Amino acid sequence: MRLVDGFVQPKAEDTEKYLRMGWWRNITLGDVLDKAAALHPDKEALVDDRCRLNYSQLKESVDRLAIGLSGLGLGDGDCVMVQLPNWGEYVLTLYALAKIGAPAVLLLPRHMQLEINHFCALTRAKAWIVPETYRKTDYRPVIEDVKKANPSLEHIITVRGGKNTPFVNFEGMIADTDLSSHELQALKERKPDARQIAFILPTGGTTGLPKAVPRTHNNAVCEAEYKAISRKQSADDVCLLCVPLEHNLGLASLDSTVFSYGKLVLLDSTLPEDFCAAVQRERVTRAPIVPTLLDRFVSFEELDKYDLGSLRALYVGGAKTPPDVIQATHKKLGRVYVTAFGMSEGVTCTTRLDDDEDTILNTVGRPCCPHDELIVVDADGRKLPSDREGELLAKGPGVFSGYLGAPEENRLAFTSDGYFLTGDLAMISDSGVIRITGRSKDIIIRGGENISPVEIESLLRQHPDVEDVAVIGMPDKELGERACAYIKPRENANPSLESLVRFIRSKGASVLQLPERIELIYEIPLTNIGKPDKKALRDDLKRRLAASNDDKK
Ligand code: AMP
């Protein structure tokens, strides 16, 4: 068993306990797929814009790809970056990598040189699976830059790129693989230990770049199982995935659907008409989505034209859903709204369809995995009684054990007795129902996507016109929040939003690092410990927004 450098293993006593209690099943994601294929070979498993596979075909394609990837020399502990849209190839890739013990490093399609170089160096990735072009993005110059900066990157495998490519052809690897019993036996022998990393998720960082969250097979299968149980999923379920699969919301729904032998429908669009058409065509029963999309869907004028009667549940997470959007959902689609609270680190909670109105409108329900322990503590780390607000802490078989290669972050992220500090403020009722009341961590959630203000600040600080900067979330009706940068310009400088955005783009940053509003000020206010006083800035922004609304009236 080769462990990835910088991976923090769970404590031995926790591993022993979780395995003894059966909370960890000591199986891999590859085992989960093989079981589904053995029990339901002819059942539809995966549909996207190009393919329709039953479980037996899905397993065969995954095995072919896994053998092809091994043929490139990839295997035990070799990280492979995966940057794909919601195509069926995503599912094939995840399970093929899981079968050969190569951790999948999941990149957002929007990630550019800055983030990709960071993850590539951090994980010493040996390969990268990516389309050459996707919609308006041409990845080829990005590939060139990343290859130059990372000599460890040996293979670029391109998806849907055609045969005349200088890169390894993904489709060819599946088609040309020899699926002999000898190869299949060799593949079995490459199966990783369930304590190894299955995938690595990106999440907002506090040091200027995203952090990497490793999740082991044990940890991922545990989440898949308890998600399936808490959602009462069955083999008859059809799960539509239009949200990014690099986020826990989408990924855990994918794995839990395979865990319960359901069907996956991957949709590479978030347009309401495409969503509705897919629900109608595939008789979709469940879908994870973010609040911004839900709002867009229930406000869609042509909603009535589609037969959406198969929908049983929408798992809405990534950010808080405004109660009026929940009520509109109930009115238009029936009682299908479920809150999905979760994070890349594996802490997940959910309301249940039969919860009472207050629980559904105002809380995030209870943990999906009943063996995860969630508590609330005060500023001194003391556990608080019910209904008192404090920081939410979590520990258990569903929770990760540390960021990759980030000892300093990990020291701050965990208590001495192993609880993860979520950075969310919460209250827990007597009956264990959790209310999220705010955030102590410095992140902006834009349409369910986490943005790290520190990342934007460190980019803006490099601009010659910027002396100091603090980035905060600006309330936004459509997306929840957008990034607003308060800037103290250098003497005689007068930077514009456009020039700053151009500058950040030139650094190879992704759209997630672009501010959408700037305010020029004389001095960034500081707290009494000398940090930017973001609360004061938020109050100031509220006043400015209210004043500009008044002006418009
Ligand atoms: P990420 O790790 O990028 O998925 O972001 C996780 C963070 O998103 C959580 O720590 C919360 O701050 C926020 N979040 C996720 N789901 C919800 C929800 N249902 N309600 C409120 N905040 C949420």
Domain boundaries, the chain: 12-423, 444-552
- The helix (H) or strand (E) run that includes residue 472 is strand 466-476
Angle, helices 55-71 vs 181-189, to 10°: value is: 80
Question: Sorting pLDDT into bands at 50, 70 and 90, what band is 417?
Answer: very high
pLDDT at 277: 98
Q: Does 387 have pLDDT greater than 80? A: yes
- Averaged pLDDT, 250-273: 98
Amino acid 441: pLDDT:
82
Task: Give the atom of ligand 1 at the shortest distance from the alpha carbon of 247.
Answer: 4
Confidence category of residue 204, pLDDT binned at 50, 70, 90: confident
| Bridge partner residues of 226 (DSSP) | none
Two tokens, residue 44: 């539809």
Per the listing, tokens 């910027």 go with 466
Q: How many CB atoms lie within 10 A of CB 436?
A: 19
Residue 441 CB less than 6 A away from ligand 1? no
Pocket of ligand 1 contains residue 422 by CB under 6 Å: yes
Quote the distance between the C-alpha of residue 108 and its chain's center.
Answer: 9
Contact 528, 503 (CB under 8 A): no
Instruction: Report the separation in Å between the CA atom of 196 and the middle of ligand 1, taken as the mean of its atom positions.
Output: 26
By percentage, how much of the chain surpasses pLDDT 90? Answer: 86
Centroid of ligand 1 to alpha carbon of 248 (angstroms): 10
Pairing of β 263-266 and β 286-289: unpaired
Architecture of domain 444-552: 2-Layer Sandwich (3.30)
Read off the pLDDT band of 530 (50, 70, 90). Answer: low
Protein residue with least CA distance to atom 8, ligand 1: 318
The Cα 203–Cα 455 span in angstroms is 12
pLDDT average, residue stretch 183-207: 91
Cβ of 341 below 6 Å from ligand 1: yes
Residue 388 has pLDDT above 90, yes or no: yes
**Is the CB of 251 within 6 Å of ligand 1?**
no
Burial of 40 (0-12, 13-18, 19+ CB in 10 A): middle
SS3 339: strand
In whole angstroms, give the CA distance from residue 287 to residue 340: 11
pLDDT for residue 72 is more than 70: yes
Which ligand 1 atom minimizes the distance to the CA of 449? 3
Q: What percent of the chain has pLDDT over 70?
A: 98
Q: Tell me the whole-structure pTM to 2 decimals.
A: 0.90
Whether 291 is in the pocket of ligand 1, judged by its Cβ within 6 Å, is no
Atom of ligand 1 nearest to the CA of 439: 12
**Residue with the nearest Cα to atom 2 of ligand 1?**
343
pLDDT per residue as tens digits for the range 422-436:
999 999 999 999 999
Atom number, ligand 1, closest to the C-alpha of residue 347: 10
At residue 425, the pLDDT reads 93
Residue 178 has pLDDT above 90, yes or no: no
Q: Is the pLDDT of residue 519 over 80?
A: yes
CA–CA separation, 367 and 364 (whole Å)? 9
Lowest average pLDDT, out of 68-72, 143-147, 520-524, goes to 520-524
Distance 90 CA to ligand 1 centre (A): 23
Instruction: Assign 548 a pLDDT band (cuts: 50, 70, 90).
Output: confident
Residue 526 confidence (pLDDT) = 82
Query: Given a cut of 80, is residue 553 above it in pLDDT?
Result: no
For β-strands 80-82 and 104-106, DSSP reports them as parallel
**Residue 380 to residue 383: CA distance in whole angstroms:** 9
Residue 386: what pLDDT?
96
Q: What is the mean pLDDT of the chain?
A: 94
| Domain 12-423, CATH homologous superfamily name and number | ANL, N-terminal domain (3.40.50.12780)
- Ligand 1: centre distance to CA 418 (Å): 21
Choose the residue to mutate in 290, 341, 434, 446 for probing ligand 1, maximizing ligand atoms within 8 Å of C-beta: 341
| Residue-wise DSSP of 482-540 | EEEEEEEEPTT----HHHHHHHHHHTT--GGG--SEEEE-S---B-TTSSB-HHHHHHH
C-alpha of residue 445 to centroid of ligand 1, in Å: 8
CA-nearest of 355, 399, 352 to 374 is 399
Q: What is the pLDDT of residue 551?
A: 62
Burial 447-471 (b: 16+ CB within 10 A, else e): bbbbbbbbbbbbbbeebebbebbbb
More confident residue, 513 or 62: 62
For position 163, what pLDDT does the model report? 77
Q: Report the chain's C-alpha Rg in angstroms.
A: 23
- Predicted pLDDT at 134: 96
Which residue has its alpha carbon closest to ligand 1 atom 23? 319
- Shortest-distance Cα residue to atom 1 of ligand 1: 343
**What confidence score (pLDDT) does residue 442 get?**
85
CB 365 within 8 A of CB 354: no
pLDDT digits (tens, 9 = 90+) for 1-29: 899 999 999 999 999 999 999 999 999 99
pLDDT beyond 80 at 144: yes
What is the 274 CA–ligand 1 centroid distance (Å)? Answer: 26
Q: How far is the CA of 499 from the centre of ligand 1 (A)?
A: 32
Residue 508: predicted pLDDT: 87
Distances (CA, A) of 455 to 443, 485, 512: 10, 12, 9
